[in-house]
A and B are shown apart, each in its own frame.
Chain A
Amino acid sequence: MIAEHQSEPAGDGGSLIQIEHLVKTYQLGEFEVHALRGVSVRVSKGEFVAIMGASGSGKSTFMNILGCLDKPTKGSYVLEGIDVGKLSRDELAAIRNKKIGFVFQGFNLLSRTTAFENVELPLFYGPASNKERKAKAIEAIERVGLGERIHHYPNQLSGGQQQRVAIARALVNDPSIILADEPTGNLDSRTSVEVMGIFQELNNNGITVILVTHEPDIADFAKRHIVFRDGKIRTDRTNTSPKVASEAIKEMPLIGADEEEAA
């Protein structure tokens, strides 16, 4: 059912992400914290990767570098043929804006700002016209099934709904990759599966998805599993038979999902 992952030999052009010997060391006064100790990995277009590993193994550090939110201490990161390490701050900002959609565990929505305004935010930093911006924002919100909550504020939305807003914001600019760091970490299991359903649907439409999770149940929805340990990749396998969220949800009871599922 789970086989060793083969790095695609089919031409380097096929690799969306190409990472070699990535090292990240934090300096804490006298101490050095080695968050990443040489990570090499390739991810092709259209993959759905789940990253797992113990707490402190470097998953978030890795994701932040993938998302161009942070810079590695050493190593190279090539995204769609662009050597990210050589880019200026502004060029990195442009990459975050156009190519990457980031979904955080804590949602990171602007407070006192409606769902709609949160979702259109990335388009403010691009060339989109007023009309385009509105149309795209509405489309993205409808895509995550929140059409009715469009003018609600984050504090008027449930955790699952807030995470959907965050996903809508991540995909509003048609990114090549969606990066999600424990997107279901704050959600109950039913809502988690719903959110995974959205990721699967986006993935089926060609968007590469990389997500971090602690729960094997969630990782089962991904096509590839990478496990981190002590700042290195421990295992990297293909999941030959990923679960389908839209089917899994049907088997889940509506109320008290957590307890009954565990039973």
Chain B
Amino acid sequence: MKIFNILLSAFRALQRNKMRSFLTMLGIIIGVGAVIAMLAIGQGAEYSVKEQIAALGTNVLMVFPGAQQQAGVRTAAGSATTLTEDDALAIARECPAVQYISPGAFAGGQVIAGNLNWSTAIQGVGSDYLEIRQWPIEYGDFFTDQDVKAAAKVCILGKTVADNLFPESSPVEQTIRIRNVPFKVVGVLTRKGQNAMGQDQDDIIIAPYTTVIRRLSHWPNLRFVLISATSLRDMPVAQKQITDLLRMRHKIQAFDADDFTIRNQTDLAATATATTDILTILLASIASVSLLVGGIGIMNIMLVSVTERTREIGIRMSIGARSRDILTQFLIEALVLSLLGGIVGIILGIAGSSIISSIAKWPTIVTAFSIILSFGFSIAIGIFFGFYPARKAAMLNPIDALRYE
């Protein structure tokens, strides 16, 4: 039998049984599409968490008040009152491996500029904050050490806040009121975009921590201290120096636990990775279930059609088809279905991923691995269950195939 004839027979058979062909393809489409979308979400989460950690800046250490918990999760910020401004200043003074340091405070509230208002978070930091975070100013200036010491009522705006409060004009030199306290805007930050959790990092106002503590939060201690080490290599040294210094200052006995927590990027990465790992496992299980369901769908439809197809095979053999003619035809049918279904599945998976991305504001990454995995698995099932019953039938005596019920 000529290859063209085989192809023609296969296409005719598929077209003749549109419903069966469609259902088989549907199984493959769902399997492939779901796996690609699921894995894209998982990969996206992992990627953005890493991205976010990198965005903190290099060589960054964070000191939080409160003891470290067993599972590696720190207690809620502010649950301990052990981190003071003096601690921060002492670290800056006495730890040679520390390059920059910024004490940190928080406040939230309503911000008014003219007749516009906006609700946002206010972060109180030191004058070296932007160095540590490596976050440039778009225009205007950052506040000075002088402003910090004087608890000056100055602030810089994140891009989102600036866009919302000053849609027309430049905010620099304008006055805004945060919880009724007037602040002078001195600069606007460059846009940073969303973080892994979908939060807008530009929806923020940054002011001297002294001002935030005294005017806004009325909470005397620090929520965190952001530190950068002199180099990546010096990170462990810096961490040791800070630990020793704080233990001494807090008069902690030799065998007692720290009453503060130091985190570096590796720790953050480990915590974040642990979270995304759970997510990935979860998504992978959902994906493998859909792959399995898709596979069972393919299997079912193929097996159900065996009776009809066995008689068809009997008829074909009775008029002169050889076993190998039958096998090639069925193989091609299965291949065509699997490939078409697989391609549609890939397209659907990629489209689905980007829809999820835009609706849930969640980054998704489609990897070659997920495509190959799902495509390969579905096609293997499609071909096996399309081909195997046909092979069995083709080995029968024609009369037995004709009589098959």
Contact = CB atoms under 8 A, between A and B. Distances in A.
Q: Do A and B come from one complex?
A: yes
Contact of A70 (B12, B325, B397): B397
Nearest to B5: A124
Nearest to B398: A69
B398 A122 contact: no
Interface string B323-355: 111000000000000000000000000000000
Contacts of A169: 319
Nearest to B394: A89
Contacts of A109: 315
Contacts of B398: 68-70, 96
B5 A108 contact: no
Interface string B288-329: 000000000000000000001001101111111111110000
B360 interface: no
B325 A125 contact: yes
A71 interface: yes
Interface stretch (A110-118, A194-202, A220-228, A229-237): A110-118
Given A94-B320, A98-B320, A169-B319, A125 B1 contact: yes
Contact of A121 (B17, B319, B323, B399): B319
Given A71-B397, A96-B319, A125-B322, A110 B312 contact: yes
Given A108-B315, A112-B17, A121-B316, A93 B322 contact: yes
B317 to A, nearest CB: 7
Given A71-B397, A112-B16, A112-B17, A125 B320 contact: yes
Contacts of A110: 16, 312, 315
A90 B322 CA distance: 6
Given A124-B1, A125-B325, A69 B397 contact: yes
B402 interface: yes
A18 interface: no
Contact of B318 (A89, A96, A124, A126): A96
A96 B8 CA distance: 22
A126 to B, nearest CB: 7
Nearest to A91: B322
A137 to B, nearest CB: 13
Interface residues of A, number: 29
Given A113-B16, A117-B12, A122 B320 contact: yes
Interface in A84-115: 89-90, 93-94, 96-98, 102, 104, 108-113
B9 interface: yes
Contacts of B320: 93-94, 96-98, 122, 125-126, 173
B12 A113 contact: yes
A205 B269 CA distance: 89
B312 to A, nearest CB: 6
A67 interface: yes
A238 interface: no
B316 to A, nearest CB: 7
A64 interface: yes
Interface in B111-155: none
Contacts of A98: 320
Nearest to B15: A112
Contacts of B317: 69, 93, 96
A104 B12 CA distance: 24
A154 to B, nearest CB: 12
A64 B401 CA distance: 13
A124 B2 CA distance: 8
Contacts of A97: 319-321
Contacts of B402: 69, 104, 108
Residue of B1, B316, B322 ringed by the most chain A CB atoms within 10 A: B322
B399 A70 contact: yes
A118 to B, nearest CB: 9
A203 to B, nearest CB: 21
Contacts of A121: 316, 319
B12 A102 contact: no
A53 B263 CA distance: 97
Contacts of B324: 90
A113 B195 CA distance: 59
A103 B321 CA distance: 16
A102 B318 contact: yes
Interface in B1-42: 1, 5, 8-9, 12, 16-17
A89 B401 CA distance: 14
A111 to B, nearest CB: 8
Nearest to A96: B320
A67 B315 CA distance: 13
A98 B319 CA distance: 9
A67 B318 contact: yes
A64 B17 contact: no
B318 A108 contact: yes
A153 to B, nearest CB: 10
B321 A125 contact: yes
29 contacts: A67-B318, A70-B397, A70-B399, A89-B322, A90-B323, A93-B321, A93-B323, A96-B317, A96-B318, A96-B319, A97-B320, A97-B321, A102-B318, A108-B311, A110-B312, A110-B315, A111-B308, A112-B17, A113-B16, A121-B319, A122-B320, A124-B1, A124-B8, A124-B9, A124-B321, A125-B316, A125-B319, A125-B322, A173-B320
Which 5 A-B pairs have CB atoms at the shortest separation, nearest pair first? A97-B320, A69-B399, A122-B319, A125-B320, A93-B322
Interface of A: 64, 67-71, 89-90, 93-94, 96-98, 102, 104, 108-113, 117, 121-122, 124-126, 169, 173
Given A90-B324, A97-B319, A125-B321, 18 more contacts: A69-B318, A69-B397, A69-B398, A69-B402, A70-B397, A89-B322, A93-B317, A93-B322, A93-B323, A96-B317, A98-B320, A102-B318, A102-B319, A108-B318, A124-B5, A125-B316, A125-B319, A125-B325
